[in-house]
Amino acid sequence: MRGLHRLALTCALSLAFAPAFAADAAKPADPAVAAPSRDKALLAYQHDLVSVLAPRADAMPLLAAAILSRPLTDLPKFNNFHGLIDRAAQADGAADIAAAISWTRLADCDSKADACPNTSALEQLTTQAPDNAAVWLLKIGEDTRNMKQDAARADLAKAANAKLYEDYAGTSLKALANSVGILPPPADTYDSANASGAAGVQVVLVYGLANAQPQPVLQVTAKLCESAAGDASIKADCLKLGKVLEWGSSPLGRSLGLHLREVLADDPAQQEDAKHARLSLIWQVQSFSRLLGRAQNDAAVAQHLVTIARRGGTEMSLLLTALRDNNIPTEAPADWKPPSASQPQG
Bridge partners of 58, per DSSP, are 92
Which residues touch 222 (CB under 8 Å, ≥6 apart)?
4, 5, 7, 8, 256, 259
d(CA 113, CA 191): 37
Neighbours of 24 (CB within 10 A): 19
- Predicted pLDDT at 33: 42
Q: Over the stretch 188-239, which tens digit does the pLDDT of each residue have?
A: 998 877 788 999 999 999 999 998 899 999 999 998 998 766 789 999 999 9
- Between the alpha carbon of residue 211 and those of residues 3, 15, 95, 293, 328, the distances in Å are 26, 11, 24, 15, 22
- Predicted pLDDT at 28: 33
d(CA 30, CA 38): 12
d(CA 89, CA 296): 34
Ranges of residues in the chain with a pLDDT under 70 are 1-35, 228-229, 340-346
pTM for this prediction: 0.87
222, 211, 210: which is closest to 137 by C-alpha? Answer: 222
- Predicted pLDDT at 60: 97
d(CA 302, CA 228): 44
- Predicted pLDDT at 5: 39
- Predicted pLDDT at 239: 96
Long-range contacts of 68-76 (CB under 8 A, 24+ apart): 68/176, 68/179, 68/205, 68/209, 70/107, 70/209, 70/212, 71/43, 71/46, 71/209, 71/212, 72/43, 72/46, 72/47, 74/47, 75/47, 75/50
Neighbours of 197 (CB within 10 A): 17
- Predicted pLDDT at 201: 94
53, 234, 34: which is closest to 152 by C-alpha? Answer: 234
Neighbours of 290 (CB within 10 A): 16
Q: Over the stretch 157-172, which tens digit does the pLDDT of each residue have?
A: 999 999 999 999 999 9
d(CA 305, CA 147): 42
**What b/e string do you get for 90-110 counting C-beta neighbours within 10 Å, with b at 16 or more?**
ebeebeebbbbbbbbbbbbbe
